[in-house]
Amino acid sequence: MSKSVSDQVNQPWSGIRDHLEKLESGVLTIEEVVDSVFEKIEQLDNGINAFTSVLHERARARASFLDQADLKKDSVPLLGVPFGVKNLFDIKNHVTLAGSKINKRNVAALQDALLIRRLENCGAILVGALNMGEYAYDFTGENVHFGNCRNPWDPTRMAGGSSSGSAAAVASNMLPITLGSDTNGSIRVPASLCGIFGLKPTYGRLTRSGTYPFCDSLDHVGPLAQSCEDLAVVYDCLQGFDKADHACVSRNLEFVAKTAAGTDKSLRIGILEGYFANPQFVDANKAVSFVADALVDDGFSVERCNLEFAEAGRSAAFLITNVEGAALHESRLRSQPEDFDPDTRDRFIAGSLLPASWYIKAQKVRKLFAEEAAALFQSFDVLIAPSTPIRAPKIGQKTMAINGEEVNVRANLGYFTQPISCIGLPSLSVPISSRDRLPIGVQLVAAPWLERHCFEVGFRLQSLGLAVSKRA
C-alpha cells in the first residue's frame, strides 16, 4: 500500500457513498480498505475489546475476489464495506459463542447466518465476530469469559450491552457498520452509550435465522452505524422474508435509503411524558427537550403525550424474558451451573421459578399495552423518548438510582428501551450532540412496519446537526 493511499484509508469513515466513489475512481482498492481495517483493529482493540475473533483470511480472500470482479456500485450497494457481527450470529466454520463459555464446546456453524449472506450479496465483507454479554442477558457490556468491552469515549466506562462489541467497534471507527440483536434494548442501549445510530426494527421485520436465541417472543436483530445514511443502506440490504424464522413476516420491502432523506414536515411528533420523563434522569430529559425544541423550530407539529401502560409493559417484558430465557437454558443450568456468569445464572434461575400464571398475565398486559400504543399512533407518527436513563456508567458499577432506590445497573440501563421492545415497535436510537464528553441517545419510535418514519426524523435531526456520531 502506498503512503498516500494508506493515509486515506486510515482517515475516519466518511460514509458508504464516499467509499464507493473512491473505489469507482480507483483511489482505493477493496484489499486496501480491508488491510486498513485490520490495522485499526490491531492498534485499537486491545484497549476496547470489541472483537472475539478477526477473520483475516476470509476477509482478504473476499476482498481480492471483489477487486477482480470489477463490480459496479449500483448492483452492489455495499461494495467493499467491512462489517462485523455480534458473536451470536452463525459464521461458517466458527463456533457461535453467544458470549458464553459453555458454547465453546459446540460444533462449528455449517453456514453463515442469513443476514450475513444478504450483506455479502450486496458486496460487504465480514471481518470479525464481536463481544457481547453472556447469552445477551446484559445491558452493560461486561463479560467474565471474554473480558469487558470498553467505551471508546472513555475506556473506564461501559460500552453498554448486550451488543457491546457491535457498538464499540463502530464508535471507535474500527468498523463502519455492524449487526447486533435487541431483546429489551441491546442495540439501542450501547448505541446510546457509545454515541452512534442503532435500529431495532419491527418484531418480525428481519430474519433471525442463524442467530443464537435468547427470548423468542422478544428477540430482534438490527444494524448499527455511524450515520443515518449508512444505517438506511444496510437496513435496505437486510430486508426480505424468510420462512425459516417463524416470526418473520412476509411484507413488501420498505426501502428507506433513497426515500427517507426528504423532509416531511407533516409527520406528527409526540414527546412521551410520564414514565419516559422521570425528572431524576436529567441528561436524558435534556436530550429529549433539545430534540423537541429543534423540531418545533424546524416547523414540525410537536405535542406531549403519554403511554399509561409503559411501566406495566416493562414489567411484563422482564417477566417474559426471565421465563423464556430460563426455559431455553434449563438443561445447562442443571448440568453446568458453574460455567455461567453468576449474574446471568441467577437471573435465569429466578425465571425458572416463576409461576406459569404470571407469564400468562404478562402476555395479557403486553396485549393491552400494544392496543394503547396503536391508539396513540392514530394521533402521532413518531414518538420520542430517551434511549438510556444515564450516560455510560463506570465499568464495575453495580447500582444506579431510580425513584430514590438503588437498583441493579445491569438490569436497568434498559429502563426506556424495554417497554418499546415489549410490543415490538420499530425504534431508532440517534446520538444527540452535546458539549458533554459522554454521549447519550434518543429513541425515535414508530408504529409497526413504519421504520421509514423513524428514518425520516433521524435524517432530519442529522441534517440539523443534532444527531451526530462523534468518533472518539
Contact criterion met (CB below 8 Å) for 194 and 152: yes
Give per-residue burial for 107-120: e unless 16+ CB within 10 Å, then b: eebeebbbbbebbb
CA dist 470 and 435 (Å) reads 11
Would residue 361 show up in a list of annotated catalytic residues for this protein?
Answer: no
Main-chain phi, psi angles of 266, to 5 degrees: -80, -10
Query: Which residues, in sequence order, are CB contacts of 46 under 8 Å at separation 6+?
Result: none
Helix (H) or strand (E) holding 126: strand 125-130
CA dist 28 and 6 (Å) reads 9
CA dist 36 and 27 (Å) reads 14
Query: Which residues, in sequence order, are CB contacts of 373 under 8 Å at separation 6+?
Result: 307, 423, 425, 447
Choice among 36, 164, 186, 433 that is catalytic: 186
Query: Which residues, in sequence order, are CB contacts of 439 under 8 Å at separation 6+?
Result: 153, 192, 193, 194, 195, 391, 431, 432, 470
Q: Is the peptide bond before 433 cis (omega within 30 degrees of 0)?
A: no
Instruction: Give the DSSP per-residue string, 181-211.
Output: EESSSTTHHHHHHHT-EEEE--TTSS--TTB
Would residue 162 show up in a list of annotated catalytic residues for this protein?
Answer: yes
Choice among 86, 163, 181, 429 that is catalytic: 86
Task: Take residue 251 and report the three cell numbers written for it.
Answer: 411484507
DSSP conformation class of 392: P
Helix (H) or strand (E) holding 382: strand 382-386
Neighbour-count burial of 425, counting CB atoms closer than 10 A to its CB (0-12 exposed, 13-18 middle, 19+ buried): buried
Choice among 100, 162, 429, 469 that is catalytic: 162
Would residue 186 show up in a list of annotated catalytic residues for this protein?
Answer: yes
CA dist 275 and 278 (Å) reads 6
Instruction: Give the DSSP per-residue string, 282-347.
Output: HHHHHHHHHHHHHHHHTT-EEEEE--TTHHHHHHHHHHHHHHHHHHHTHHHHHH-GGGS-HHHHHH
* Residues tagged active-site: 86, 162, 186
